[in-house]
Every structure is written in C-alpha cells, then in structure tokens.
Amino acid sequence: MWELIAAGGWLMVPILICSVFAMAIIGERFWTLQSHRIIPRHLVARSWSLVRDRKVNSDEVLRLREDSPLGRVLAAGLVHMHQSREVMMEAIEDAGRHEAHGLERFLNSLGTIAAVTPLLGLLGTVIGMIKVFSAITTQGVGNAPALAGGISEALITTAAGLTVAIPSLIAYRYFSGLVDKYVVAMEQDALKLVEAMQAQRPAAGQGGAR
C-alpha cells in the first residue's frame, strides 16, 4: 500500500486528505440524517394534543425545539398559533429554510471533494506523462525503469482520484435526495398541524359565543 502511495507522487497527499474528509463527512451524515432524528414519529400528534388540551407554553415549545428539526418547525407554528394562517405559514417556512440549511451541512464540501479528486488524478496523469516524455527525450526509449516510473505515477493517481470521487459522488447524491425528502415531509407535517389548528378556531369561537 505504502509503495503504491509513494509511487503515485506528491499528488497522492491531497487525494488522501480528501479521502479522509470524505469518509468523515459520510459517517457524520449517516449518523445525523437518520429518520428518527429528523422527523420523529407521532411528533405531530403530540403537538396537536398540546394545542387541543391548551397546554402550549414556553416549556413545551422549548422541548419541541430541542427534540428535532421537525420539532423546531412545528414550534415555529405553535409560537404564532393565535395569529393568522399566513403568519403561521411564514414562520414555519422561515424555520424550514433554516432547518434545510442545517440538514445540508457538509454536503457542499462532499460535492467539492467528488469534483476535485478526479481533477487531481488527471493532474497526476499529466505530470506522469510529462515525466515519461522527458525520460524519452533525455535517455531514449531503452530506459524502461524511467518510463515505468512516470507511467505508474500517472495510473496510480488517476485510480486514486476516481476511487475517492466515485463513492463521494454517490454519497452526495444520496444525502441530497434524503434532505429533499425530509424537507418535504416536514412541510407536510407542519401543514397538517396548521390545518388542524385552523379547523379548531371556528369551533372555539362558537363555544365562546354561547
């Protein structure tokens, strides 16, 4: 392994650094973007029960905000539950944008790694071929070790760059799709809560009129 890294030349260093960062980001995102951490089950029902039983207070809102990204979106709606539907939806959309940004954390870095590492491999290929032609110019085609060194450097860096880029690109696409899925799910759950609260208002108003 170390012989291959050494044969790949100095460009193997940034490629290896990129691989370490890519593995760290992929591991962290797999851990963070689990469904039960983002959109816990029964959270909408729990929030609605707080509204129905008139138990919405600062402590419950704080507990929701600390629960999950979905909890923070729902809490934004509960804070404005006595205002118009437009105000609630605006608060929810604003909270949703912030949560979407948090869910996309490190994904730009992962996408950059997926794009850069093949270019690093290509640069290694160019450098290796330059060494091959330089050896041919100075020593002729009879010096096989000199030619083999440049060719091996070109092939190793190319292979290393693609080895890092391919899984990084797959992970980037997967996590991007997962984030989009979670954002849509949070919007739908928040809309369910808003519609339920709006449906309760006429009933509450009629009860007060009696």
Residue 157 lies in a domain: yes
Using a pLDDT cut of 90, give the percent of the chain over it.
Answer: 33
Give the domain range for residue 190: 2-200
How do residues 111-145 score in pLDDT, each as one tens digit? 999 999 999 988 888 887 777 777 667 766 666 66
Residue 147 lies in a domain: yes
Mean pLDDT in residue range 3-20 = 81
Residue 70 lies in a domain: yes
Residue 6 lies in a domain: yes
Residue 208 lies in a domain: no
**If DSSP states are collapsed to H, E and C, what string results for the chain?**
CHHHHHHCCCCHHHHHHHHHHHHHHHHHHHHHCCHHHHCCCCHHHHHHHHHHCCCCCHHHHHHHHHHCHHHHHHHHHHHCCCCCHHHHHHHHHHHHHHHHHHHCCCHHHHHHHHHHHHHHHHHHHHHHHHHHHHHHHHHCCCCHHHHHHHHHHHHHHHHHHHHHHHHHHHHHHHHHHHHHHHHHHHHHHHHHHHHHHHHHHHHHHHHHHC
Domain total in the chain: 1
Residue 42 lies in a domain: yes
The reported pLDDT for the residue numbered 145 is 66
Residue 122 lies in a domain: yes
- Between residues 30 and 131, the one the model is more confident about: 30
How do residues 141-185 score in pLDDT, each as one tens digit? 666 666 666 677 778 888 899 999 999 999 999 999 999 999 999
| pTM of the predicted structure, to 2 decimals | 0.81
Residue 209 lies in a domain: no
